[in-house]
Amino acid sequence: MKQWFKRLSGAVLAVVVVLAISAPTPQTFAAQSDQSALLSPADKILNIAHRGASGHAPEHTLAAYEKAVQMKADYIEIDLQMTKDGVLVAMHDETLDRTTNGTGYVKDHTLAEIKRLDAGSWFNRKHPDKANPTYVGLQVPTLEEILQTFGPEGHYYIETKEPGLYPGMEEELLRILAKYKLTGQDGRPPDVIIQSFSPHSLQKIHRLNPAIPLIQLMWYDPATPGKATITDAELNRIKQYAVGVGPNYRKIDQAYVVKVRRHGLLIHPYTVDDAKDMKRLLDWGVTGLFTGYPDVLRDVLKSGKV
Ligand code: G3P
Ligand code: CA
Protein backbone atom coordinates (compact mmCIF):
# COMPACT_ATOMS: atom_id res chain seq x y z
CA MET A 1 0.00 0.00 0.00
CA LYS A 2 3.01 2.24 0.41
CA GLN A 3 3.09 2.48 -3.39
CA TRP A 4 -0.64 3.16 -3.59
CA PHE A 5 -0.58 6.75 -4.73
CA LYS A 6 2.47 6.40 -6.98
CA ARG A 7 0.78 3.55 -8.83
CA LEU A 8 -2.64 5.19 -8.78
CA SER A 9 -1.99 7.63 -11.60
CA GLY A 10 -0.70 4.91 -13.90
CA ALA A 11 -3.58 2.64 -13.03
CA VAL A 12 -6.17 5.37 -13.49
CA LEU A 13 -4.63 6.07 -16.89
CA ALA A 14 -4.98 2.37 -17.69
CA VAL A 15 -8.66 2.52 -16.74
CA VAL A 16 -9.17 5.56 -18.93
CA VAL A 17 -7.54 3.82 -21.89
CA VAL A 18 -9.59 0.65 -21.37
CA LEU A 19 -12.81 2.61 -21.09
CA ALA A 20 -11.98 4.80 -24.06
CA ILE A 21 -11.35 1.77 -26.26
CA SER A 22 -14.47 -0.02 -25.13
CA ALA A 23 -17.28 1.76 -23.33
CA PRO A 24 -18.45 -0.31 -20.35
CA THR A 25 -21.53 -2.42 -20.88
CA PRO A 26 -23.47 -4.45 -18.34
CA GLN A 27 -21.15 -7.20 -17.21
CA THR A 28 -20.98 -9.88 -14.60
CA PHE A 29 -18.95 -9.56 -11.43
CA ALA A 30 -16.70 -12.31 -12.77
CA ALA A 31 -16.24 -10.52 -16.09
CA GLN A 32 -15.24 -7.41 -14.22
CA SER A 33 -12.49 -9.39 -12.51
CA ASP A 34 -10.95 -9.90 -15.92
CA GLN A 35 -10.89 -6.17 -16.47
CA SER A 36 -9.41 -5.71 -13.02
CA ALA A 37 -6.50 -7.86 -14.10
CA LEU A 38 -5.45 -4.92 -16.27
CA LEU A 39 -5.10 -2.77 -13.19
CA SER A 40 -2.19 -2.49 -10.81
CA PRO A 41 -2.53 -4.83 -7.81
CA ALA A 42 -2.48 -1.69 -5.66
CA ASP A 43 -5.66 -0.61 -7.41
CA LYS A 44 -7.64 -3.53 -6.10
CA ILE A 45 -11.16 -2.69 -5.03
CA LEU A 46 -10.98 -1.00 -1.66
CA ASN A 47 -12.69 -2.47 1.38
CA ILE A 48 -13.32 0.59 3.56
CA ALA A 49 -14.44 -0.08 7.14
CA HIS A 50 -17.17 2.50 7.72
CA ARG A 51 -16.64 4.08 11.17
CA GLY A 52 -14.51 0.96 11.77
CA ALA A 53 -16.23 -2.43 11.60
CA SER A 54 -19.28 -0.59 12.93
CA GLY A 55 -21.67 -3.46 12.22
CA HIS A 56 -19.82 -5.45 14.88
CA ALA A 57 -18.64 -2.93 17.49
CA PRO A 58 -19.47 0.63 18.61
CA GLU A 59 -18.63 3.01 15.77
CA HIS A 60 -15.52 5.16 16.02
CA THR A 61 -14.02 3.33 18.98
CA LEU A 62 -10.63 1.65 18.96
CA ALA A 63 -12.53 -1.65 19.30
CA ALA A 64 -14.34 -1.02 15.99
CA TYR A 65 -11.09 -0.06 14.26
CA GLU A 66 -9.27 -3.10 15.67
CA LYS A 67 -12.02 -5.38 14.35
CA ALA A 68 -11.68 -3.72 10.95
CA VAL A 69 -7.96 -4.46 10.90
CA GLN A 70 -8.59 -8.06 12.01
CA MET A 71 -11.11 -8.38 9.16
CA LYS A 72 -8.46 -7.14 6.77
CA ALA A 73 -10.21 -3.98 5.67
CA ASP A 74 -7.97 -1.90 3.42
CA TYR A 75 -8.85 1.35 5.22
CA ILE A 76 -10.45 2.39 8.47
CA GLU A 77 -12.84 5.26 7.95
CA ILE A 78 -12.66 8.07 10.49
CA ASP A 79 -15.17 10.94 10.78
CA LEU A 80 -13.69 13.96 12.52
CA GLN A 81 -15.21 16.53 14.85
CA MET A 82 -13.28 19.10 16.90
CA THR A 83 -13.49 19.76 20.65
CA LYS A 84 -13.83 23.17 22.34
CA ASP A 85 -10.07 23.14 22.96
CA GLY A 86 -9.27 22.33 19.32
CA VAL A 87 -8.60 18.59 19.44
CA LEU A 88 -9.70 16.39 16.53
CA VAL A 89 -11.74 13.42 17.73
CA ALA A 90 -13.44 10.55 15.91
CA MET A 91 -17.20 10.95 15.94
CA HIS A 92 -19.84 10.93 13.22
CA ASP A 93 -22.38 13.30 14.77
CA GLU A 94 -21.69 16.91 15.70
CA THR A 95 -23.47 16.15 18.98
CA LEU A 96 -22.61 13.67 21.71
CA ASP A 97 -26.11 12.36 22.30
CA ARG A 98 -26.43 9.33 20.02
CA THR A 99 -23.14 7.53 20.66
CA THR A 100 -22.19 8.57 24.20
CA ASN A 101 -23.88 9.22 27.54
CA GLY A 102 -23.20 12.94 27.10
CA THR A 103 -25.34 15.64 25.54
CA GLY A 104 -24.75 18.74 23.43
CA TYR A 105 -22.29 19.75 20.75
CA VAL A 106 -18.77 18.35 20.58
CA LYS A 107 -17.54 21.90 19.94
CA ASP A 108 -18.92 23.02 23.31
CA HIS A 109 -16.96 20.43 25.31
CA THR A 110 -13.27 20.10 26.10
CA LEU A 111 -11.38 16.92 25.37
CA ALA A 112 -11.16 16.21 29.12
CA GLU A 113 -14.95 16.38 29.37
CA ILE A 114 -15.46 14.14 26.33
CA LYS A 115 -12.92 11.62 27.59
CA ARG A 116 -15.10 11.04 30.67
CA LEU A 117 -17.99 9.80 28.49
CA ASP A 118 -18.97 6.22 27.70
CA ALA A 119 -18.93 5.69 23.93
CA GLY A 120 -19.69 1.95 23.98
CA SER A 121 -22.75 1.14 26.11
CA TRP A 122 -25.24 2.53 23.60
CA PHE A 123 -24.15 -0.21 21.17
CA ASN A 124 -24.89 -2.98 23.69
CA ARG A 125 -28.36 -1.55 24.29
CA LYS A 126 -29.10 -1.15 20.57
CA HIS A 127 -27.60 -4.49 19.48
CA PRO A 128 -28.11 -6.98 22.33
CA ASP A 129 -27.18 -9.82 19.96
CA LYS A 130 -23.72 -8.28 19.50
CA ALA A 131 -23.33 -6.82 22.99
CA ASN A 132 -19.97 -7.26 24.65
CA PRO A 133 -19.12 -6.20 28.23
CA THR A 134 -15.75 -4.90 27.03
CA TYR A 135 -17.56 -2.17 25.09
CA VAL A 136 -18.86 -0.58 28.29
CA GLY A 137 -16.94 2.59 29.06
CA LEU A 138 -15.00 2.81 25.80
CA GLN A 139 -13.71 6.32 25.21
CA VAL A 140 -14.02 8.64 22.23
CA PRO A 141 -10.58 8.40 20.59
CA THR A 142 -8.60 11.38 19.36
CA LEU A 143 -7.17 11.25 15.85
CA GLU A 144 -3.69 11.12 17.36
CA GLU A 145 -4.59 8.12 19.53
CA ILE A 146 -5.85 6.28 16.46
CA LEU A 147 -2.68 7.01 14.50
CA GLN A 148 -0.54 5.98 17.49
CA THR A 149 -2.51 2.73 17.88
CA PHE A 150 -2.42 1.60 14.25
CA GLY A 151 0.86 3.25 13.32
CA PRO A 152 2.43 4.02 9.97
CA GLU A 153 1.28 0.69 8.54
CA GLY A 154 -2.36 1.63 9.04
CA HIS A 155 -4.44 3.09 6.25
CA TYR A 156 -6.76 5.93 7.11
CA TYR A 157 -9.74 7.26 5.14
CA ILE A 158 -10.54 10.48 6.97
CA GLU A 159 -13.60 12.72 6.64
CA THR A 160 -13.68 16.39 7.57
CA LYS A 161 -17.18 16.53 9.07
CA GLU A 162 -18.94 19.86 9.48
CA PRO A 163 -15.88 21.92 8.46
CA GLY A 164 -18.02 25.07 8.64
CA LEU A 165 -18.29 24.55 12.42
CA TYR A 166 -14.54 24.18 12.88
CA PRO A 167 -12.36 26.91 11.42
CA GLY A 168 -8.78 25.61 11.07
CA MET A 169 -9.85 21.97 11.02
CA GLU A 170 -8.01 21.25 7.77
CA GLU A 171 -4.76 22.83 8.98
CA GLU A 172 -4.91 20.84 12.22
CA LEU A 173 -5.59 17.62 10.33
CA LEU A 174 -2.62 18.17 8.01
CA ARG A 175 -0.40 19.13 10.97
CA ILE A 176 -1.19 15.82 12.68
CA LEU A 177 -0.80 13.77 9.50
CA ALA A 178 2.60 15.40 8.89
CA LYS A 179 3.63 14.70 12.50
CA TYR A 180 2.96 11.00 11.89
CA LYS A 181 4.59 11.13 8.44
CA LEU A 182 1.38 10.23 6.60
CA THR A 183 1.29 13.08 4.09
CA GLY A 184 3.81 11.82 1.59
CA GLN A 185 6.83 13.65 2.93
CA ASP A 186 10.32 12.18 2.53
CA GLY A 187 9.39 10.91 -0.93
CA ARG A 188 6.85 8.45 0.51
CA PRO A 189 3.33 8.36 -0.90
CA PRO A 190 0.51 9.40 1.46
CA ASP A 191 -1.06 6.65 3.57
CA VAL A 192 -4.33 8.50 3.83
CA ILE A 193 -7.33 9.40 1.73
CA ILE A 194 -9.31 12.46 2.78
CA GLN A 195 -13.02 12.76 2.02
CA SER A 196 -15.65 15.41 2.59
CA PHE A 197 -19.08 16.49 1.48
CA SER A 198 -17.64 20.01 1.44
CA PRO A 199 -15.86 20.95 -1.81
CA HIS A 200 -14.41 23.98 0.02
CA SER A 201 -12.78 21.78 2.63
CA LEU A 202 -11.28 19.48 -0.02
CA GLN A 203 -10.11 22.37 -2.19
CA LYS A 204 -8.42 23.91 0.83
CA ILE A 205 -6.62 20.63 1.61
CA HIS A 206 -5.62 20.32 -2.04
CA ARG A 207 -4.10 23.81 -1.92
CA LEU A 208 -2.23 22.97 1.29
CA ASN A 209 -1.00 19.56 0.08
CA PRO A 210 -1.83 18.50 -3.49
CA ALA A 211 -0.23 15.05 -2.96
CA ILE A 212 -3.03 13.76 -0.73
CA PRO A 213 -5.73 11.82 -2.63
CA LEU A 214 -9.18 13.29 -2.04
CA ILE A 215 -12.68 11.88 -2.49
CA GLN A 216 -15.64 14.20 -3.04
CA LEU A 217 -18.61 12.78 -1.15
CA MET A 218 -21.94 13.35 -2.90
CA TRP A 219 -25.17 14.00 -1.06
CA TYR A 220 -28.44 13.10 -2.79
CA ASP A 221 -31.69 13.50 -0.88
CA PRO A 222 -33.12 10.01 -0.30
CA ALA A 223 -36.62 11.52 -0.32
CA THR A 224 -36.20 12.67 -3.92
CA PRO A 225 -37.65 10.00 -6.20
CA GLY A 226 -35.52 8.35 -8.86
CA LYS A 227 -31.81 7.94 -9.28
CA ALA A 228 -29.18 10.66 -9.05
CA THR A 229 -27.30 11.94 -12.06
CA ILE A 230 -23.96 13.64 -12.30
CA THR A 231 -22.98 15.99 -15.13
CA ASP A 232 -19.77 16.17 -17.12
CA ALA A 233 -19.31 19.71 -15.80
CA GLU A 234 -19.54 18.49 -12.18
CA LEU A 235 -17.06 15.70 -12.83
CA ASN A 236 -14.65 18.02 -14.62
CA ARG A 237 -14.83 20.40 -11.65
CA ILE A 238 -14.22 17.58 -9.14
CA LYS A 239 -11.25 16.33 -11.16
CA GLN A 240 -9.48 19.61 -10.48
CA TYR A 241 -8.83 18.56 -6.87
CA ALA A 242 -10.09 15.00 -6.22
CA VAL A 243 -9.33 11.49 -7.46
CA GLY A 244 -12.87 10.21 -7.06
CA VAL A 245 -16.40 10.51 -5.71
CA GLY A 246 -18.36 8.84 -2.91
CA PRO A 247 -22.14 8.78 -3.50
CA ASN A 248 -24.94 7.15 -1.51
CA TYR A 249 -25.22 3.73 -3.14
CA ARG A 250 -29.02 3.75 -2.97
CA LYS A 251 -29.22 6.76 -5.28
CA ILE A 252 -26.95 5.57 -8.11
CA ASP A 253 -27.34 3.24 -11.04
CA GLN A 254 -24.95 1.66 -13.50
CA ALA A 255 -25.01 4.70 -15.79
CA TYR A 256 -23.75 6.85 -12.92
CA VAL A 257 -20.86 4.47 -12.21
CA VAL A 258 -19.91 4.20 -15.88
CA LYS A 259 -19.95 7.97 -16.29
CA VAL A 260 -17.69 8.53 -13.29
CA ARG A 261 -15.22 5.92 -14.49
CA ARG A 262 -15.23 7.31 -18.03
CA HIS A 263 -13.90 10.48 -16.44
CA GLY A 264 -11.02 8.47 -14.95
CA LEU A 265 -12.31 8.96 -11.41
CA LEU A 266 -12.59 6.41 -8.62
CA ILE A 267 -16.03 5.72 -7.13
CA HIS A 268 -16.53 4.56 -3.53
CA PRO A 269 -20.26 4.36 -2.69
CA TYR A 270 -21.45 4.37 0.94
CA THR A 271 -22.64 2.49 3.04
CA VAL A 272 -23.17 -1.00 1.70
CA ASP A 273 -23.79 -3.72 4.26
CA ASP A 274 -25.64 -6.36 2.25
CA ALA A 275 -23.76 -8.88 0.10
CA LYS A 276 -26.28 -8.70 -2.78
CA ASP A 277 -25.92 -4.92 -2.97
CA MET A 278 -22.14 -5.25 -2.87
CA LYS A 279 -22.16 -7.70 -5.79
CA ARG A 280 -24.44 -5.50 -7.88
CA LEU A 281 -22.27 -2.43 -7.34
CA LEU A 282 -19.11 -4.39 -8.10
CA ASP A 283 -20.71 -5.62 -11.33
CA TRP A 284 -21.32 -2.00 -12.23
CA GLY A 285 -17.63 -1.21 -11.82
CA VAL A 286 -17.22 0.62 -8.50
CA THR A 287 -13.63 0.84 -7.25
CA GLY A 288 -14.32 0.51 -3.53
CA LEU A 289 -17.12 0.34 -0.97
CA PHE A 290 -17.73 1.74 2.49
CA THR A 291 -19.18 -0.98 4.70
CA GLY A 292 -19.81 -1.63 8.37
CA TYR A 293 -19.13 -5.31 7.57
CA PRO A 294 -15.64 -5.59 6.05
CA ASP A 295 -15.82 -9.36 6.66
CA VAL A 296 -18.86 -9.64 4.36
CA LEU A 297 -17.22 -7.53 1.65
CA ARG A 298 -14.01 -9.53 1.96
CA ASP A 299 -15.98 -12.75 1.29
CA VAL A 300 -17.82 -11.16 -1.65
CA LEU A 301 -14.54 -9.98 -3.15
CA LYS A 302 -13.02 -13.43 -2.70
CA SER A 303 -16.03 -15.07 -4.38
CA GLY A 304 -15.64 -12.71 -7.35
CA LYS A 305 -11.87 -13.24 -7.42
CA VAL A 306 -11.28 -9.49 -7.63
O1 G3P B 1 -17.89 8.93 4.34
C2 G3P B 1 -18.69 8.05 3.66
C3 G3P B 1 -19.94 7.99 4.41
O4 G3P B 1 -19.55 7.70 5.71
C5 G3P B 1 -20.66 9.29 4.37
O6 G3P B 1 -21.74 9.27 5.18
O7 G3P B 1 -22.83 10.19 7.11
O8 G3P B 1 -21.78 7.96 7.26
O9 G3P B 1 -20.36 9.98 7.18
P10 G3P B 1 -21.66 9.35 6.76
CA1 CA C 1 -18.10 9.28 6.90
What is the SS3 assignment for 224? coil
In whole angstroms, what is the distance from residue 77 CA to residue 80 CA? Answer: 10
Ligand 2 centroid – CA 222 distance (Å)? 17
Q: Could you tell which of 48, 60, 81, 159 is best to mutate to test the pocket of ligand 1, judged by most ligand atoms within 8 Å of the CB?
A: 159
Ligand 1 centroid – CA 245 distance (Å)? 12
The mean of the pLDDT values for the chain is: 88
Predicted TM-score of the model (pTM): 0.87
Domain ranges of the chain: 47-303
Query: Which residues are 81's β-sheet partners?
Result: 89
Q: Which of 60, 84, 57 lies closest to 71 in space, CA to CA?
A: 57
Q: Does 50 sit in the ligand 1 pocket, CB within 6 Å?
A: yes
- For the stretch 169-220, pLDDT in tens is 999 999 999 999 998 766 666 789 999 999 999 999 999 999 999 999 999 9
- For the stretch 11-46, pLDDT in tens is 443 433 333 333 333 333 433 333 333 333 446 799
- For the stretch 158-181, pLDDT in tens is 999 999 999 999 999 999 999 999
- Helix, strand, coil percent values for the chain (each to nearest 5): 45, 15, 40
For atom 6 of ligand 1, which residue has the closest CA?
Answer: 270
Q: Does 290 sit in the ligand 1 pocket, CB within 6 Å?
A: yes
Looking at all shown ligands, the one closest to residue 268's CA atom is 1
- Check residue 43 and give its pLDDT: 60
Ligand 2 centroid – CA 79 distance (Å)? 5
In a 10 Å sphere around its CB, with 0-12 CB exposed, 13-18 middle and 19+ buried, how is residue 289 labelled? buried
For atom 5 of ligand 1, which residue has the closest CA?
Answer: 270
Counting residues of the chain whose pLDDT is more than 90, the rounded percentage is 81
Q: Which of 91, 75, 96 lies closest to 213 in space, CA to CA?
A: 75
In whole angstroms, what is the distance from residue 239 CA to residue 94 CA? Answer: 29
In whole angstroms, what is the distance from residue 69 CA to residue 298 CA? Answer: 12
Query: Which residues are 90's β-sheet partners?
Result: 80
Helix H, strand E, coil C: the string for 259-298 is: HHHHCCCEECCECCCCHHHHHHHHHHCCCEEEECCHHHHH
For residue 10, what are the CA distances in angstroms to 40, 42, 92, 197? 8, 11, 34, 27
Which residues are designated catalytic? Answer: 50, 92
pLDDT at 144 > cutoff 80:
yes
- For the stretch 236-265, pLDDT in tens is 999 999 999 999 999 999 999 999 999 999
Q: The domain 47-303 belongs to what CATH superfamily?
A: Phosphatidylinositol (PI) phosphodiesterase (3.20.20.190)
- Length of the chain equals 306
Q: Does 159 sit in the ligand 1 pocket, CB within 6 Å?
A: yes
Q: Does 79 sit in the ligand 1 pocket, CB within 6 Å?
A: yes
pLDDT at 75 > cutoff 80:
yes
